[in-house]
Amino acid sequence: MVVAIGCGAEQRNDPAPLDRFTFPTGIAVHGQDLLVVSSNFDLQYASADGGSLLRVALGAAPAIQPGGLRIGSFGGELTVVDPARCPALGGTEALVTSRLQGRLYRIGLDGNALTCGAACEIRFDDDKRLGDPYGIGVTCPAGGTPRAWVGFLRTPLREAFIATIDLTTGARQVLSVGAGQVRSFAYDADTERLFFTSVDTQLAAPLSWIELASGCDPTLPENAGGCVVRAADLWGFLRGAELSGLDLSNPVPGQRRRVYVATKVYDADLAATLGTRPGFDVTGELMVLELAENATGNLEVKLVKTLYVGLGAAEVKVLPRRPNLPCNDASGVSVPNGCPQRDLVAITASEDGLFWIYDDETGTMRDVFGRDPQTGQPGLGRSPFGLAVQDLRATPGTGDGNARVYVGSFLDDFVTAVDVPLSGSAPADFVRAGTGPSAPPQRIGQVTP
């Protein structure tokens, strides 16, 4: 697709516009701001600075703010790291990749403008093994070294490489962690395990993790004090699975941790005949997995269930922890603080234009947003992809007990917000541009022709 676009389009050298989104990918909430990565996927603008990171002031009428920053094209995932999360850092940063330029950008967020100083760009194009940096993970162990972890979607012989960057010194190391290109990360701070998914793995579906506890040094080989890399092949649970985005359940005392994985599914028999992954999928699923340590301390991954989400299964975000429910103990006595509910989880399926809210307490899809049954218009755009979550319980006057999920539409250049009651007492609904249930959804960043 990239080659076809490049060959068919006139070469442009204009820098990215800073007043609109262009093929948004990664999005994140920082305080009362929404950060959006524009990828310039059609190369309408220059490759070196045709992408951007833009800041939206959230409120009744969200608007793109001045002071946006241009980055390389084909932007990937976005994450925010601050001193509250990583005390060793001196300020708050947005970490975002550019696949086309082979960069990780460390963009300063302190102040009104986004800043990219002397140590902002970390290059990977000097290492021929590392192509298309996309996924980003962050680990900040107490008293340890804060690190960013970057996965790559193009490597020789489909080898899985991760670059780890010391966020205090900027030092970079490259790790080989198995087969397949690394797609996305999720970190369990309680057990110090960094989980990641991989694509193009040839008749396998590994959910992998790096054991970062016990003082190991991830920059060293395993036999010299380095960290152990382990994997569970999910192919046995779902033939034809290729894992995309993932997230971990909220930690709850007495409950095992779960992993939620957006999963594309292709024809496994056709793949075996061709000797490679077919270029199309047959469906998409959300895989719900439970983690348990066995008697030796090794992690075992168990399948809880799979649920249909549609073609183009893409991103997963777990919503904030829900309020406890009233309950009784085994003797029938009321538990003083109630019993915890399991998570609500947001999932996008970009090819089918679907956005779901999964309720792990009931094991069902609670809400689905697709095309309007009356008008046929896609509720969240033609290709819902990137996700960000805001906990409204900390913001007075914005909805008691709600979380707000921001969904970026890759093809339509806007972001739509959906309010989700965490209690489960009411269905999720759009944040609307007007009063009343018939008002249209509010489109953040939409440009009127």
Which pLDDT tens digit goes with each residue over 419-431? 999 987 789 999 9
pLDDT band at 396 (very low <50, low <70, confident <90, very high): low
Q: Quick one: tokens of 438?
A: 């018939």
pLDDT digits over 318-356, tens only? Answer: 999 999 988 888 888 898 888 899 999 999 999 999 999
Asked if pLDDT for residue 225 goes beyond 90, the answer is no
Would you mind telling me the total number of residues written for the chain in this entry? 449
pLDDT digits over 110-134, tens only? Answer: 987 899 988 899 999 999 999 999 9
Under a CB-based contact definition with an 8 Å cutoff, are residues 444 and 34 in contact? yes
Asked if pLDDT for residue 295 goes beyond 50, the answer is yes
Please give the mean pLDDT across all residues of the chain: 92
How does DSSP assign 96-159, residue by residue?
EEETTTTEEEEEE-SSSS-B--TT-EEE-TTSTT-EEEEEEEEE--TTS--EEEEEEEE-GGGE
Angstrom distance (rounded) from CA 100 to CA 148:
20
pLDDT band at 18 (very low <50, low <70, confident <90, very high): very high
pLDDT band at 189 (very low <50, low <70, confident <90, very high): very high
203: left (phi over 0), alpha (psi -120 to 50) or beta: left
- Cα–Cα–Cα angle for 85, 253, 262, rounded to 5 degrees: 65
Task: Name the DSSP class of 400.
Answer: T
Return the residue matching tokens 């699975």: 241
Q: Quick one: tokens of 43?
A: 């190369």
Q: Is 211 helix (H, G, I), strand (E, B) or coil?
A: strand
Per cent of the chain over pLDDT 70 is 95
> Counting beta carbons within 10 angstroms of the beta carbon of residue 319, is it exposed (0 to 12), middle (13 to 18) or buried (19 or more)?
buried
Residue 1: the pLDDT is 46
- Cα–Cα–Cα angle for 114, 31, 187, rounded to 5 degrees: 95
Angstrom distance (rounded) from CA 256 to CA 117:
42
- Report CA-CA distances (Å) from 180 to 152, 160, 201: 9, 5, 4
| pTM score, whole prediction | 0.94
pLDDT band at 288 (very low <50, low <70, confident <90, very high): very high
Q: Which amino acid is located at 402 in the chain?
A: N
Angstrom distance (rounded) from CA 56 to CA 38:
13
Asked if pLDDT for residue 219 goes beyond 90, the answer is no
Residue 368: the pLDDT is 96
Q: Which amino acid is located at 174 in the chain?
A: V
pLDDT band at 3 (very low <50, low <70, confident <90, very high): very low
pLDDT digits over 198-212, tens only? Answer: 999 889 999 999 999
Q: Is 425 helix (H, G, I), strand (E, B) or coil?
A: coil
Average pLDDT of the segment spanning 294-299: 86
Angstrom distance (rounded) from CA 388 to CA 416:
11
Asked if pLDDT for residue 147 goes beyond 90, the answer is yes
Angstrom distance (rounded) from CA 38 to CA 73:
8
Task: Report the sign of the C-alpha dihedral through residues 175, 180, 186, 188, in that order.
Answer: negative
- Report CA-CA distances (Å) from 439 to 118, 270, 429, 431, 434: 47, 46, 11, 9, 5
Asked if pLDDT for residue 253 goes beyond 90, the answer is no
Order across the sheet with 131-139: list the strands. Answer: 131-139, 147-154, 159-166, 172-179
Closest C-alpha among 341, 387, 379, 382 to residue 361: 341
| Bridge partner residues of 287 (DSSP) | 261, 306
Angstrom distance (rounded) from CA 100 to CA 84:
32
Q: How far is CA 265 from the centre of its chain?
A: 19
Residue 397: the pLDDT is 55
Return the residue matching tokens 């946006």: 68
- Report CA-CA distances (Å) from 419 to 27, 361, 416: 17, 19, 10
Residue 343: the pLDDT is 96
